[in-house]
Amino acid sequence: MAFGDVGGAVTELVITCQTPASGTIAVTKGDAVKLTGAYIVDNATDAEDVVFGQALAASTANSEAIPVKVRGVCILDYTGADPTVNGVAGVLASATDGSVKAPASGNGVGVNVKVDSAASRVHVLI
């Protein structure tokens, strides 16, 4: 079994959400998303917004249904300093849409399990 392989009956939780009813939508598959309403998600984030999950499909349309991974290992792009892997630290949204960052204070969301500095990607157990 390779690192990151997960076994068992349930390894991820994916729920159907939708994009906002108005405004510009530019969600890319793999983006970190925040919850903005009842099952409404958006990748347009401000620094330190709480990450809800990872978009598993792209969307450019308003009120479009998209699958979002809300539990499991999400591999997300990050900006700024490398996130910490210490068993408690997670991430928060960055000011770059769809990306995350190490929190300015506190532990953030989830638990970082791997950081790929060369690719600026972090594996987070959400």
Q: Is residue 93 over pLDDT 60?
A: yes
What mean pLDDT comes out for the span 104-108?
A: 95
pLDDT of residue 23: 97
What mean pLDDT comes out for the span 99-122?
A: 97
Residues, the chain, total?
126
For residue 121, give the nearest of 79, 76, 54 by alpha carbon. Answer: 76
Residues 93 and 33 sit within 8 Å (Cβ to Cβ): no
pTM (2 d.p.) = 0.91
Q: Is residue 9 over pLDDT 60?
A: no
Q: Is residue 2 over pLDDT 90?
A: no
Q: Encode pLDDT of 14-26 as tens digits.
A: 999 999 999 999 9
